[in-house]
Amino acid sequence: MERPYRIGVLGGTGAQGSGLALRLALAGHELVIGSRDGARAASAAAQLSARAGRTIAGSENRAAAAAAEIVILTVPYAVQRATVEHVLDQLHGKVLVDSTVPLVPPKVGTVALPEGGSAVAAIQRLAGEKVRVVSAFQNVSAQHLGELDHEVDCDVLVCGDNRAACDLVIALCADMSMRALHAGSLANSAAAEALTSVLITINRRYKVAGAGIRITGLPGSGARGG
């Protein structure tokens, strides 16, 4: 960790958001989780604080985005765009890490990418040049994130059009003891988004809860970053 960051996790009351918030707080970062319901966020933050042994704040999404230097979006696809629109003026000049997967219930095991390919790339078009959008965490099991007795046994694919922003997200992954790899431009996020449905199908077929991916053939298999 180069320095502790103020990080807001929108949708932080869910399994993925709370797992990321918990691991980032344990790494020494300052965390605030956001929700459409500020009281719900405060209640969830109190529970996470007890687990982390340090204070995690909770507030409504706009306040969480305003307080943060880096914002992580962990909401369902159905409310992805509305959530970003609600906080967009609080994201200017910041890095937005979007973990959205365009799942379409009930057929979540079937790939259903939106028109144009990547759901995350669509958010970059919405946000414009004032926000550096990075795609990450689509293929990381929320269950594993919340289980602190072991490292998360998978790689994180990081896509974005701003190299410095991608490097920052890769460093945050290293803080959480996860290996992250540059996977190309934001348009390439479509591959990670589609892969989630493949992993869901594998989970069901083989009766597991957290199938993930590993990229092989890289020098120094234990190295962090990319």
3-state class of 148 per DSSP? coil
Q: What angle do CA 121, 60, 15 make, to 5 degrees?
A: 65
**218 domain-assigned:** no
Q: Does pLDDT of 222 surpass 60?
A: no
Q: Could you read off the pLDDT of 194-216 as tens digits, one per residue?
A: 999 999 999 999 999 889 999 99
Q: What angle do CA 39, 8, 74 make, to 5 degrees?
A: 85
Q: Does pLDDT of 118 surpass 80?
A: yes
**65 domain-assigned:** yes
Give the pLDDT band of residue 64 (cuts 50, 70, 90). Answer: very high
Instruction: Please report where in the chains the tokens 């591959």 appear, as a residue.
Output: 191
- Token reading at 129: 């040049």
**220 domain-assigned:** no
More confident residue, 220 or 82: 82
Residue 226 is predicted with a pLDDT of: 52
**26 domain-assigned:** yes
**127 domain-assigned:** yes
Total number of domains in the chain: 1
**219 domain-assigned:** no
Give the pLDDT band of residue 221 (cuts 50, 70, 90). Answer: low
**39 domain-assigned:** yes
Residues spanned by the domain of 47: 6-206
| CATH number assigned to the domain comprising residue 11 | 3.40.50.720
User: Does residue 188 contact residue 159 with C-beta atoms inside 8 Å?
Assistant: yes
Give the pLDDT band of residue 59 (cuts 50, 70, 90). Answer: very high
3-state class of 53 per DSSP? coil
**223 domain-assigned:** no
Q: Could you read off the pLDDT of 144-185 as tens digits, one per residue?
A: 999 988 888 899 999 999 999 999 999 999 999 999 999 999
Q: Could you read off the pLDDT of 1-53 as tens digits, one per residue?
A: 678 999 999 999 999 999 999 999 999 999 999 999 999 999 999 999 999 99
Give the pLDDT band of residue 223 (cuts 50, 70, 90). Answer: very low
Residue 162 is predicted with a pLDDT of: 97
